[in-house]
Amino acid sequence: MTVSGLHNNNNNNGFTLVEIMVAMGILTIALLGLVSVTVMVIKGNSFSKTMTTATILAKGKIEQLKNTSYGSLAGGTETVDSAGFTYTRTWAVTNTPAAGMKTVEVTVQWNWQNAARNVTLRSIVAQ
- pLDDT (0 to 100) of residue 22: 94
The pLDDT tens digits along the chain (127 residues) read: 455 555 555 666 778 899 999 999 999 999 998 998 999 999 999 999 999 999 999 999 999 999 999 889 999 999 999 888 999 999 999 998 778 899 999 999 999 999 999 999 999 998 8
**Which pLDDT score is estimated for 4?**
54
What values do phi and psi take at 13, rounded to 5? -95, 50
Q: From CA 65, how far away is CA 70, in angstroms rounded?
A: 9
Short-list 61, 79, 127, CA closest to 100: 127
Question: Nearest to residue 120, comparing CAs of 66, 65, 61, 80?
Answer: 61
Reported pTM: 0.74
Domains of the chain and CATH, by start: 17-126 (3.30.1300.30)
pLDDT of residue 63: 95
The predicted pLDDT at position 117 comes to 96
pLDDT for position 47: 93
Q: What's residue 15's pLDDT?
A: 82
pLDDT number for residue 42: 93
